[in-house]
Each structure stands twice: as C-alpha cells, then as structure tokens.
Amino acid sequence: MDINGRNFIKFQDRLNKYDLQNSPEAAEKQHSKGKLLAWERIHILFDEGTFEEIDAFVTPASIEKGFGRMTHTFGDGVIIGHGKISGRLAFAYAQDFNVMGGSLGAVHAAKIMKIQNMALKMGAPIIGLIDSGGARIQEGVASLAGYAGIFYRNVQSSGVIPQISVIMGPAAGGAVYSPSITDFVFMTNKTSHMFVTGPNVVKEVLNQDVSFEDLGGAEVHARKSGVANMIYEDEENTLLGVRKLLSYLPSNNLENSPYVFLAETQKDTDEKLREIVPDDTNKPYDVKDVINLIFDKGSFYEISELYAQNIVIGLGRLDGKTIGIVANQPKVLAGTLDINSSMKAARFVRFCDSFNIPLLALEDVPGFLPGIDQEHSGIIRHGAKLLYAFADATVPRITIILRKSYGGAYCVMNSKNLGGDFNFAWPTAEIAVMGPEGAVAILYRKELSESDDPAKLRKDLAAKYRSEIANPYIADEKGFIDEVIDPSITRKKLISAYEALENKHVSVPSRKHGNIPL
C-alpha cells in the first residue's frame, strides 16, 4: 500500500494521540507544583537527541467494570528507553503522574521490568525517575506482583550495574523499597516524598497529625533517616546531579571508571597540608580541607552530606582516576564512629568494591561513641558492618592516619591487619589502644590519687604517653604502618601507591557469599 494510504494515516493518528498526553494543560498541572513533565525530565537527564523510547503505545490492562475508571492512554503512565549520558549508554524509566497518577499496574510494571532486563543484559546503568501514587488499586494483586518483580530485578542487578533512583514526587507503600535497594537515592526539596504509610494512615492508626514534608520529605530522609543520599532545590539540578554522579562511575562491574584528563596541571605537593591539623589534639578541623588539597581541583563529590556528618564519604579524582573516600570528620562528634556513621560508610565501601573503585581512608578517630543509647541500639553489630566491609573489599585500599587512631576504631578504619594495602601516617598521628588521658587515668590511678597536684601530673604523664607510646614511629618500626610521610607530599605518595596497585588481584575463598552482620 502507498505510504500515504490508510496505514500511514493510522500511524500518524497514534502519534497525534500520544502527543496530546503531553498537552499544555498537563504541563501546567505539573509546573504549578514545581515539577516537570516526565519527558522534560528525560530531556535534561540524557544527552540531547539521544533518548530512544520503547513500548510507547502499550495500553493498560483491562479490568472488570465497577472498580474505578481506567483512562485509555498510551504508555500506561511510564516512559522507558535508552540513550546517552555524557556519551555513555544508559537506560531509564520515568513515571508520568499525569497518567493515572503514575500508578503501577501490570503493564506499567512489565515495562519497568523490561528496561531493567535490558540494562542488566547490556551492562549499563539504569535510572528510575519515580513520581507515582503507588499500586493501582483497580488491578489488585497484579500491581503487587509487579512491584515484587521490580524488586527482584533490583537485587539481581545489585553490584553488577549502577542503579540510581530519583524521587520526583510521591513514593509510598511498597514503592519505596525499589529505591532503597538501589545504589543511590536523589530527592528534590519540597516536591518529593517517601514513606511506607502516608499521613492519613498515621492519623487514623496512631492519631498523630503530620504533614507530607515532616513525615517523608527530602530533608527528613537526607538528615534523619539517611535514605536519601543527595537532595537539590529543584528538579533540573537534581537531574544534573545524577549526570555528575554517573561521570565518576563505570558502566558495570567489569569496567573501570572513566578517566578524566586534568584541565590544568596540578602540583603533586602542597605545603598547606602541613598546616591543617592543629597542634592541640583536642581542637577540631575540617577534613574536607585535606580532601580538597589532595584530590584534583573541584573533583570531590560528597555523598550523604547531611547524614551522620561525623564521617565524610564521596568520590574524587586523583590524577584523573576515580577514588572512593571515607574520612572521619573531627568537626562533628570529634570524629567518633557511631551507629549511623558506621552504616553510612559501610554501605559506601561495599558500593566502591562492587564497581572497582579504589578506596582511601583518611583517619582521625578517637574511638566509637560511648553511651547507653549507642550500646542498646547495637553499636557492636553496626560498627562491625564497617569492619566487615573494609575486610571484604578486594579493590586497592589505602589509609592515611592524620591524627587520632585509637582502639577498635583503629582496626576498623582499614588497618594494615584488616587488609589495607598501604597504610601511611602523618607525623601528627597518635596510634594507641586509647587516648593518652584515658590511658594515664588507668595506668597511674594510684599515683594520681596520691599526688599533691594530680592535674599537673596527669598532664605530664599524658605528654609522656603521647611521646613514648602513641607516636606513629613505633607503629612504623613494628611494621603496622608502611611509612610516616610529610603531609605536603600526600598527593604524590597516593598517586604512586595507586599506580602500584593497579593490577592488584585477590583470590577469595570459595563460598556462596559471606554473612555480613546486617
């Protein structure tokens, strides 16, 4: 038949009907809430002109009459497809809240599972743009089965391809568990929400009044629950943040991260590093100052910045190569490890190890946070997660002890006997079972109790302990660290060490998997 015949007319008619789903009225409905259309989000996320949609014209499953109206639409409320992000293949799905509230039915779920399967088969990242009212009630168990199928594929892809969830509206009930399995969760302030049970159910069951924002807003999940890794003030910057994160990551677990050429020559030594750690061992400083001087200029991308701020995690580039950073933060809780910081760091270490990203630990930790709440809430089990994560990691692992390194926390932060490949220390390092003041109080209890000036004696004894026991040279001489280095050459030393570790290979015991203390 002629291309201008009836077949072409039908073909064009479907295209016109599909375009009407993104009408000016639909756009205004989203824009009035500070949100973008699903297609607008796709256009920001992917390189211009590269996204190819799949299954655009599928229609919702039929249901028995009398159980709610089903709108006849193409696509069933979700866009799926593939394209390029910074020139590299990526897959995505974007739920469309303007089509049946983005609710998930059998066909909607089948589309998401289809693109998940494709991403896993092709070894490319998958990004979920989530904006959905949840399970489609009219379809009953089929909706729940759809969620389960998506969760299953999340687990199968875990550690094989990067999975990123971008919450761009509501994510409620069972819908929240797919994001929680993925590697990173992005949220937009004021317009995205996550909760297992919404405000209405909380009111009905517990008689508590709470707003969407206070129950499951971006700030709540970024600061309190730790569910959200990154939050931004608008959707455009949220999506640009996803693009930036992907620039640090390999496409799958068989590749290395992309190399980025330095825009300008950067010195491998910096004497400013000698000035950061204060002479007073109890005085705080910002470990991010150390990170920014060591790594390529402007390359540090912090993750979970607002949560458990006593530890800093993120990705940086060292001479163009991606490195995962875990650093104690002396500015917050003196850099102690607690439950939340241990879990935050352990999860990140596991991610880096899954995707061949070398690790660097910057250590200044006086120990684990003491207290009844921490002990009763399981600091032993949660602290062991970080210990397990480092010990189980086979990627190149380097530690630099900047200052304090006491007790069990010394062991946990990628110590030599935990499998650290290179362990360095600055001259300001203090390595001991406990801090000088605590040690003196135990070792010289009798002398202190009988002294005419216990405060002066304690100070003198602590100085002696620091000089004769806690200094880094003893650990160096006994082989527990590889070298005490001049802080100014830290970048140069790290570049050389990671080059030496490029072909690192570890043979692990034959087993199905270990049993991390979850």
Catalytic residue among 173, 216, 316, 324: 173
State whether residue 417 is helix, strand or coil: helix
Q: How does 307-319 read in b/e, with b if 16+ C-beta sit within 10 Å? A: bbbbbbbbbbbbb
Tokens of 330: 């002396």
386, 308 Cβ separation under 8 angstroms: no
Shortest CA distance to 115 belongs to which of 71, 159, 161? 161
Pull the structure tokens for residue 126.
């998958």
**Would you say 164 and 180 are in contact if contact means Cβ atoms under 8 Å apart?**
no
CA atoms in the 13 A half-sphere facing the CB of 186: 27
| Nearest-angstrom CA–CA distance, 289 and 142 | 52
CB 191, CB 237: distance < 8 Å: no
Sequence-ordered list of residues with C-beta below 8 angstroms from that of 193, at least 6 positions apart, any chain: 167, 169, 170, 171, 172, 212, 213, 215, 216, 217, 218
Quote the tokens at residue 258. 């992309």
Closest C-alpha to 171, from 155, 150, 157, 153: 150
d(CA 141, CA 113): 17
Q: Which residues of 19-57 are buried (b: 16+ CB within 10 A; e: fewer)?
A: eebbeeebeeebeeeebbbbbbbbebbbeeeebebebee
Cβ atoms of residues 242 and 207 within 8 Å: no
Are residues 156 and 118 in contact, defined by beta-carbon separation less than 8 angstroms?
A: no
Q: Is 497 a catalytic residue?
A: no
Nearest-angstrom CA–CA distance, 213 and 188: 11
| Helix, strand, coil % over all residues of the chain, rounded to 5 | 45, 20, 40
Are β-strands 311-318 and 301-303 bridged in parallel, bridged antiparallel, or unpaired?
Answer: antiparallel
Q: How far is CA 109 from the centre of its chain?
A: 25
Give the SS3 label for residue 22: coil
In whole angstroms, give the CA distance from residue 249 to residue 126: 12
174 catalytic residue (yes or no): yes
| Active-site residue, 105 included | no
Active-site residue, from 222, 346, 409, 425: 409
Which of 83, 128, 174, 226 is labelled catalytic?
Answer: 174
226 has catalytic annotation: no
Rounded distance between C-alpha atoms, residue 55 and residue 75, angstroms: 7
| Catalytic hit among 140, 407, 408, 438 | 408
How far apart, in whole angstroms, are the C-alpha atoms of residue 45 and residue 43?
6
> What are the structure tokens assigned to 396, written together?
């190149």
Which residues are part of the catalytic machinery? 173-174, 408-409
